[in-house]
Amino acid sequence: MTNKVIYKEAAAALSVLAILAGLPFLLWYWRNVYVPGKYPPGTQIIHLTAVADGGIWTRDPIVGYSYWWKTPTRVKEIELKQGSHVVLFLSSPDVQHAFSLPNLHVGPVPVPAGHTVEVGFTADHTDELNFACTQVCGRDHSKLAGQFVDSQSRSAQH
């Protein structure tokens, strides 16, 4: 009789632990992946991380171990389709940054250390769109710049 009670208690405890461990993942999945209709059809979703050491905008995922052991790939140009809706997920693993896209009057958008900020805009310009960090974030701050380029005009040139 006592063995059945112990198994039931263990099963109940494991069930609670599974729910507590899985709930954050399910919430992340619902917010970032599943939510139907969150963005218009054809939306370009771009993840960018600003790293003060080296002044790098990167699309590489930066977490604790990769921040110290791996140099991320610098992103200088990102292709966009003209007229498309763009959603940027901006993050910073180290210090506060501020994203700015002056030609479209986006920003400066503060990007606090350890956080991700969502910014949306419509790529309705045919010229190159320069973006930069406008918060002095370290000695390599001036290198934190890049540009969005129209993928259609780029393919027509080649």
**Cα 24 from Cα 21, distance rounded (Å):** 7
Domain ranges of the chain: 1-38, 44-157
**Cα 37 from Cα 8, distance rounded (Å):** 42
Q: Does domain 44-157 have CATH number 2.60.40.420?
A: yes
Tens-level pLDDT at each residue, the chain (158 residues): 566 767 888 888 888 887 877 777 777 666 665 556 677 777 888 898 888 888 888 888 776 655 666 777 888 888 888 888 888 899 888 888 999 888 888 879 999 988 889 998 888 876 778 888 888 887 888 888 888 887 766 555 54
What's the predicted TM-score (pTM) here? 0.69
Number of H helices, E strands in the chain: 3, 9
